[in-house]
Amino acid sequence: MGLMYLAKSRKGFSVFSLMSPTFFYLLAAFTVITIAFNINNTLRAEHPVSKEEEKEEVVIDETDYDEKALTKAEEKILPKNVLQPELSFEPEPNPEPEPEPEPNPEPEPEPEPEPEPEPEPEPEPEPQPASTVTRKVLVLDFDPIIESEDNKRLHVLFGWNDPASLETQFAADVKSSSNNYVNYQIYQRVKIDDYPVKEDDYQYTDSSFLNCWNDPDRSSCHMPDGADYNKMLSEYGVDACALRNNGTIHEVWIWGAPYFGYYESRLAGPGAFWYNSPPLTSGWTGTPCTKQLPIMGFSYERGVPEMLEDLGHRTESAMSHTYGGWAENRTSHNWDRFALVKAQSPDYNYSGCGSVHYAPSSTSDYDWGNPQTVQSTCDDFYNYPDLTGAKESVNCSTWNCNGYGYLKWWFSHIPHFTGVAPDGKWNNWWRYILDYQEATAVNPWQEILSKFLAFWGNIVATLQGNFGSAAFEKK
120 Rama sector, left if φ>0, alpha if ψ -120 to 50, beta otherwise: beta
pLDDT-based confidence at residue 2 (cuts at 50, 70, 90): very low
> Does 316 reside within a domain?
no
User: Among residues 312, 204, 189, which one has the least CA distance to residue 254?
Assistant: 189
Do residues 256 and 156 share a domain?
Answer: yes
Number of separate domains in the chain: 2
β-bridge mates for residue 134, sequence order: 183
Do residues 177 and 271 share a domain?
Answer: yes
> Does 281 reside within a domain?
yes
**pLDDT tens for each residue of 414-456:** 999 999 999 999 999 999 999 999 999 965 555 566 556 656 6
Alpha carbon 43 to chain centroid distance?
111
Q: Please state the rounded mean pLDDT for residues 294-316.
A: 99
- How high is the mean pLDDT of the chain? 83
Do residues 161 and 274 share a domain?
Answer: yes
Do residues 288 and 174 share a domain?
Answer: yes
> Does 236 reside within a domain?
yes
Q: Answer with the one of 396, 417, 438 that is the final residue of a domain.
A: 417
> Does 115 reside within a domain?
no
Residue 202 contacts residue 231 (beta carbons within 8 Å):
no
**Rounded CA gap, 374 and 456, in Å?**
29
Q: Does the model's pTM come out above 0.85?
A: no
> Does 29 reside within a domain?
no
User: Residues in the chain, how many?
Assistant: 475
Do residues 197 and 276 share a domain?
Answer: yes
Q: Answer with the one of 257, 284, 302 that is the final residue of a domain.
A: 302
Q: What is the pLDDT of residue 127?
A: 83
Do residues 164 and 232 share a domain?
Answer: yes
> Does 352 reside within a domain?
yes
pLDDT at 16 over 60: no
pLDDT at 90 over 60: no
Do residues 295 and 155 share a domain?
Answer: yes
**pLDDT tens for each residue of 50-76:** 544 444 444 434 444 444 444 444 444
DSSP per-residue string spanning 76-143: HHS-TTSPPPPPP-PPPPPPPPPPPPPPPPPPPPPPPPPPPPPPPPPPPPPP-BPPPEEEEEEEEEE-
**pLDDT tens for each residue of 175-230:** 999 999 999 999 999 999 999 999 999 999 999 999 999 999 999 999 999 999 99
Range of the domain at 217: 133-302
**pLDDT tens for each residue of 320-368:** 999 999 999 999 999 999 999 999 999 999 999 999 999 999 999 999 9
> Within 13 Å and on the Cβ side, how many CA atoms surround 224?
9
> Does 282 reside within a domain?
yes
